[in-house]
């Protein structure tokens, strides 16, 4: 059991590292040379120009204005200043809603913390159980927790009432937030510009026809079954090989540019390269000649493959993007069943053109169900085997464990500062390293499962990751930790007794989770804002590859929110907060600090850095809501388990209603709001159609949609951004409003910050 002193040292270490990160950020972001690392969003929007263009030579790279360094935290108010509507315009609804998750955390936990400190902490503190027991060590933190209340005490009524109050408050806030987000989404969809995906439906599993090609078959089917609405369709080519060739060519071109730059700088020495594996051995040749020839060769190959794909009927996959004359027609087709065999002619809303995951469009139905089964089994085994290393690391992170394994370290560890450091830092770090490996595996699994759009892939991966964090980071830590103390008891009792055991271990694990919050939630978030990896990568690229401004644009890596890794991590904080709100309220302030700090950091990142790859219109919110509900139910069940071991068995009857009511609340919300995120109501489609017909009666929609869904390799070999920006330019109304806002209000604020 860590003492208050351990916690204080941990807090100090983590606050210190957070401050170090923030100072580093403050200094780095003011250097003009890093401008593209810390403000890429504005460059992509075309609003910010390179600061290196004008001024003295040195000040192109380093900021010499000392005054700007003094106010090193003033990015925080700047991040908070942009109003939400403008934020949606600027960064998209996904991002704007994403940071509302942090706000939701504050809304839920600040009142809960106030109430818990007002009621539960005094009740616990005066419980005086731990003082009377001499043979177990306890710290002051435990005195504030439910452990300090004697078994069978009447004081537990306070905890029961508070459990109800907290649940009702959480549900109330959740309901309100769901309604707000649903309205935001509706407004967002209603105000959206014309986009190809509004008119388009993705049709999969087109059945083979002996007499017709896929294209003819699709056209005939929809001409017959949607006669008044069908407009056009685009077939999908299996261009995976072509995409690989394009990718390889791009890499070779990068090397060519690298050697050309090298040659320009040192014209006296022609650069050479070896033709063998990774340039490590083989014949030495002139680099520029070699890469030019290789690119030449690859270009020919690419042209041949391109022709093959277009002419070969086998390169056409049995899927198509079908476009309709109206949004109404598309909404109808996306929401209805086409054929009496529900495994063919599957229709769903088409993703945005650049959010299509092209590799998964051609998987037949049975293959899909088998893949899902295999991935479900795989997920189970992955979860299961990850438990072993975690438990092992947890053993080591224990002071006594380390002393046993490495007895020579004993004098060092016994030093008070080192001991506190290990106890306050190591368990969190060990867990963190494990968690970094996972998301990529999970995303691959989601891809194998056959989802067709990036947003679905991210949402599915998030679901898997959430399960993982639940099992590994939450349950794994609680059980593995206690397992070391109670392994024998554990093996000899029925496995179904575990829930009770978890409930009992909950208060004992409070200090561990406090350190975890500080490492992951405080220092980790502060590290996020420094963007170390993109910073290094940008400067490497900038030095070796960049010739033109366009190259520099491509060298920027704005990154994105990575919903599938970050959202489940937030959920862990919700879970911890809900579980400990009744048991050990002292944990709540740490969580509140995390939510507040993360809110500011991510708001800043969204405004200045991240460039989302797609816009799903906050389609992830039902998942967020559901997972908080899951956390709430887990917290209620664990409290039930804990209470039944505390000599308050009669409380079971009182507490059992809570999960029932929570499940009912979830169903209510689901029925009330979820369809806003899943379906597209015909009324809204009709309104937009009517409006468009009135304002643009002569719109040539067919021409607009003709090439919207073409595999990116056919667009000149580059993954171009879609027509969004062009469209904004075509639409004077929106563009004017936006640029004027930015120019007047925000752009100036930014400029003064940078001293440019």
Q: Contact residues for a second copy (CB under 8 A)? A: 186, 221, 224-226, 228, 331-332, 335-340, 342-343, 345, 365-366, 369, 372-373, 376-377, 494, 496-497, 660, 664, 667-668, 671-676, 679-684, 686
CA 519 to CA 501: how far, in whole Å? 27
CA–CA distance from 225 to each of 321, 557, 709 (Å)?
Answer: 16, 46, 22
Answer for the pair 91, 41: CB distance below 8 angstroms, yes or no. Answer: yes
**Considering the complex, what minimum distance in angstroms separates the CB of residue 730 from a second copy?**
28
CB 698, min distance to a second copy, A: 21
The DSSP line for 31-81 is: SGGGHHHH-HHHHHTT----GGGSS-TGGGTS---THHHHTTTTHHHHHHH
Nearest 5°: the CA angle 79, 82, 84 is 115
Question: For residue 153, how many C-alpha atoms fall within 13 Å in the half-sphere facing its CB?
Answer: 17
| Overall size of the chain counted in residues | 756
Q: How far is the CB of 207 from a second copy (least distance, A)?
A: 12
The least distance separating a second copy from the CB of residue 496, rounded to whole angstroms, comes to 3
Distance in Å, CB of 167 to a second copy, minimum: 15
- Residue number, 158 or 331, with CB nearest to a second copy: 331
- Minimum CB–partner distance for residue 233 and a second copy (Å): 16
CB-CB contact of 572 with 474 (8 Å): yes
**Cβ nearer to a second copy, comparing 16 with 374:** 374
Sign, Cα dihedral of 117, 119, 121, 122: positive
Task: Count CB atoms within 10 A of the CB of residue 563.
Answer: 21
CA angle 437, 442, 446 (to 5 degrees): 160
Q: How far is the CB of 228 from a second copy (least distance, A)?
A: 6
Residue number with CB closer to a second copy (183 or 740): 183
**Is the CB of 132 or the CB of 340 nearer to a second copy?**
340
- Cβ–Cβ contacts within 10 Å for residue 33, how many? 16
* Plot region of 64 (φ>0 → left; ψ -120 to 50 → alpha; else → beta): alpha
Give the start-end residues of each E strand in 505-555.
Answer: none
| Crossing angle of the two packed helices 621-644 and 563-583, in degrees rounded to 10 | 30
Q: In terms of CB distance, is 588 or 685 closer to a second copy?
A: 685
The distance of closest approach from Cβ of residue 567 to a second copy in the complex, given in angstroms and rounded to an integer, is 24
User: Please, how many CA atoms are within 13 Å of residue 14, restricted to the half-sphere of its CB?
Assistant: 29
Q: Cβ 164 to a second copy, closest distance in Å? A: 17
369 or 489: whose CB is closer to a second copy?
369
Q: How far is the C-alpha of 191 from the C-alpha of 679, rounded, in Å?
A: 17
Query: By the 8 A CB rule, do 445 and 374 touch?
Result: no
The C-alpha atoms of residue 622 and residue 618 are separated, in whole angstroms, by 9
* Cα–Cα distance, 360 to 371 (Å, whole number): 12
How far is it, in rounded angstroms, from Cα 579 to Cα 630?
A: 11
Q: Residue 190 has which token pair?
A: 């209603």
Q: Which residue has the tokens 């049995």?
A: 318
Between CA 262 and CA 264, with CA 263 as vertex, the angle to 5 degrees is 95
Using the minimum distance from each CB to a second copy, give the nearer residue, 454 or 686: 686
Which ranges constitute the DSSP H helices of 584-620? 587-608
Q: Between residues 183 and 485, which has the closer beta carbon with respect to a second copy? A: 183
Q: Cβ 607 to a second copy, closest distance in Å?
A: 29
Are the beta carbons of 221 and 346 closer than 8 angstroms?
A: no
Helix (H) or strand (E) holding 202: strand 200-204
Helices (H), 559-681: 563-583, 587-608, 621-644, 651-655, 657-669, 675-678
User: Least distance from C-beta 211 to a second copy, angstroms?
Assistant: 18
CB of 201 to a second copy, least distance (A): 12
Contact status, residue 677 vs residue 183, Cβ threshold 8 Å: no
Query: Least separation, in Å, of the C-beta of 686 and a second copy?
Result: 5
Q: Which is nearer to a second copy, 209 or 674 (CB)?
A: 674
306 versus 325: smaller Cβ distance to a second copy: 325
* Least Å from the CB of residue 683 to a second copy: 5
Residue 332 in tokens? 């109808």
As measured in angstroms, the least distance from the Cβ of 239 to a second copy is 29
* Residue among 283, 285, 295, 291 nearest 259 (CA): 291
**Which of 681/722 has CB closer to a second copy?**
681
State which residue, 188 or 620, has the beta carbon closest to a second copy. Answer: 188
* Choice between 382 and 596, CB closer to a second copy: 382
Task: State the sign of the Cα–Cα–Cα–Cα dihedral 388, 392, 393, 395.
Answer: positive
Nearer to a second copy (CB atom), residue 2 or residue 685: 685
> Considering beta carbons, is residue 338 or 395 the nearer one to a second copy?
338
Q: What is the rounded (10 degree) CA torsion for 550, 555, 560, 566? A: 180
């Amino acid at each position: 059991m860590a003492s208050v002193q351990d916690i204080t040292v941990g807090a100090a270490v983590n606050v210190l590292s957070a401050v170090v990160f923030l100072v580093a950020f403050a200094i780095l972001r003011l250097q003009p040379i890093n401008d593209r690392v810390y403000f890429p969003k504005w460059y992509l929007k075309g609003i910010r120009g390179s600061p290196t263009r004008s001024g003295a030579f040195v000040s192109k790279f380093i900021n010499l204005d000392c005054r700007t360094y003094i106010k090193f935290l003033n990015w925080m108010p700047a991040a908070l200043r942009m109003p939400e509507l403008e934020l949606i315009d600027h960064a998209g609804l996904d991002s704007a809603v994403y940071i509302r998750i942090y706000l939701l955390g504050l809304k839920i936990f600040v009142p809960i913390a106030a109430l818990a400190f007002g009621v539960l902490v005094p009740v616990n503190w005066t419980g005086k159980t731990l003082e009377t027991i001499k043979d177990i060590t306890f710290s002051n933190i435990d005195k504030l927790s439910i452990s300090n209340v004697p078994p069978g005490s009447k004081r537990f009524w306070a905890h029961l009432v508070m459990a109800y109050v907290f649940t009702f408050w959480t549900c109330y806030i959740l309901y309100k937030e769901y309604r707000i987000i649903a309205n935001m989404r509706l407004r967002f969809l209603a105000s959206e510009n014309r986009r190809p995906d509004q008119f388009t439906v993705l049709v999969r599993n087109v059945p083979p026809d002996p007499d017709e090609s896929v294209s003819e078959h699709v056209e005939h089917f929809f001409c017959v079954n949607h006669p008044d609405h069908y407009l056009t369709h685009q077939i999908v080519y299996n261009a995976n090989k072509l995409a690989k060739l394009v990718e390889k060519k791009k890499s070779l071109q990068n090397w060519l540019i690298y050697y050309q730059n090298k040659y320009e700088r040192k014209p006296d020495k022609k650069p050479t390269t070896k033709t063998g594996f990774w340039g490590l051995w083989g014949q030495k040749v002139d680099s520029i000649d070699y890469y030019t020839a290789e690119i030449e060769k690859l270009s020919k190959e690419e042209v041949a493959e391109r022709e093959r794909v277009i002419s070969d009927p086998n390169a056409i996959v049995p899927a198509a993007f079908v476009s309709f004359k109206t949004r109404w027609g598309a909404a109808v087709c996306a929401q209805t069943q086409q054929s009496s065999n529900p495994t063919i002619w599957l229709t769903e809303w088409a993703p945005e053109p650049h959010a299509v995951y092209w590799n998964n469009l051609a998987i037949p139905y049975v293959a899909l169900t088998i893949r899902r089964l295999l991935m479900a089994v795989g997920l189970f085994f992955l979860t299961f085997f990850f438990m072993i290393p975690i438990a092992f690391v947890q053993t080591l992170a224990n002071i006594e464990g380390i002393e046993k394994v490495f007895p020579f370290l004993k004098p060092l560890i016994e030093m008070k500062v080192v001991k506190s450091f290990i106890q306050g830092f190591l368990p969190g770090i060990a867990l963190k390293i494990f968690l970094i490996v996972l998301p990529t595996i999970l995303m691959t699994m989601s891809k194998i499962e056959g989802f067709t759009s990036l947003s679905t892939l991210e949402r599915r991966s998030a679901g898997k990751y959430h399960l993982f964090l639940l099992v590994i980071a939450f349950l794994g830590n609680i059980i593995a930790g206690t397992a070391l103390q109670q392994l024998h008891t554990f093996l000899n009792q029925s496995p179904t007794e575990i829930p009770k055991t978890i409930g009992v271990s909950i208060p004992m694990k409070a200090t561990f989770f406090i350190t975890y919050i500080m490492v992951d939630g405080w220092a980790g978030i502060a590290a996020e804002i420094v963007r170390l990896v993109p910073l290094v990568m940008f400067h490497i690229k900038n030095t070796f590859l960049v010739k033109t401004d366009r190259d520099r644009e491509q060298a920027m890596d704005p990154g994105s929110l990575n919903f599938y890794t970050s959202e489940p991590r937030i959920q862990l904080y919700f879970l911890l907060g809900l579980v400990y709100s009744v048991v050990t309220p002292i944990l709540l302030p740490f969580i509140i600090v995390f939510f507040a700090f993360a809110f500011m950091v991510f708001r800043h990142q969204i405004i200045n850095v991240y460039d989302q790859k797609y816009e799903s219109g906050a389609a992830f919110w039902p998942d967020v809501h559901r997972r908080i509900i899951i956390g709430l139910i887990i917290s209620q069940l664990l409290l039930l388990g804990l209470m039944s071991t505390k000599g308050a068995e009669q409380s079971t009857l009182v507490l059992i209603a809570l999960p029932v009511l929570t499940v009912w609340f979830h169903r209510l919300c689901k029925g009330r709001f979820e369809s806003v995120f899943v379906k597209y109501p015909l009324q809204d489609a009709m309104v937009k159609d009517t409006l468009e017909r009135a304002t643009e009666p002569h719109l040539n929609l067919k021409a607009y949609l003709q090439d919207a869904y073409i595999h990116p390799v056919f667009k000149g070999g580059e993954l171009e951004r879609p027509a969004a920006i062009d469209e904004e330019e075509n639409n004077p109304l929106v563009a004017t409003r936006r640029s004027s806002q930015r120019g007047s209000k925000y752009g100036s604020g930014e400029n003064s910050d940078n001293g440019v």
